[in-house]
Amino acid sequence: MRTVRCILIAVGFTLAAIAGSVPREAPALELKTTHGNTVSLKGLKGKVVAVLWVSTDCPHCQETCEELGPLYEELSGQGLEIMGMAVNPNAPGNIGAFKAKHQVEFPIGVSSRSDWMRFADLSVMARAYVPYMMLVDRNGVIRYEHRGRDHEFWHDQMDNLRKELSELLAEPAGASR
């Protein structure tokens, strides 16, 4: 009986740590940028939004932000927006230098781990890694989700991202799957 109880508890914790299923409705999300502007996911409805959770100290996050710059420039005219959410404790003091050093042209600001866990539908006990990206379609539905440990995606991130974004950008509003 004790073994069964332990197994059930372990399964419960495992399920609580797994992100919600995709596709799913994106919860509300706001970003206060380094310029003092507020960007809301709701205000971006009709656009495809890449929500990117990063740590300004993470080399993989730095690389991702650098590579997203040209992609953002290329696809923003087709309806792509990026919301960069820095979650590390020292981000408030270094986000300006991070943006300058890594040529981040898309909106990025400071967020919290709790906002990240809520948005990703993860348990607060989950062990989550950055970069962590979710792609939200024109209708506010999370269609793709890539955890920091999704090595297959991040290994060839720009080709994988370009494929997914092309699919989402080709869809008109009202065409969520």
Please write the tens of the pLDDT for every residue from 100-156: 999 999 999 999 999 999 999 999 899 999 999 999 999 999 999 999 999 999 999
pLDDT at 2: 60
> Is the confidence at residue 16, as pLDDT, over 70?
no
Assigned token pair, 150: 């999704």
Per-residue pLDDT at 4 exceeds 60? no
Q: What is the CATH number of domain 2-170?
A: 3.40.30.10
Is pLDDT larger for residue 86 or for residue 14? 86
Cβ–Cβ < 8 Å for 117, 124:
yes
Contact 140, 41 (CB under 8 A): yes
pLDDT for 132: 98
pLDDT of residue 175: 66
Supply the pLDDT for residue 68: 96
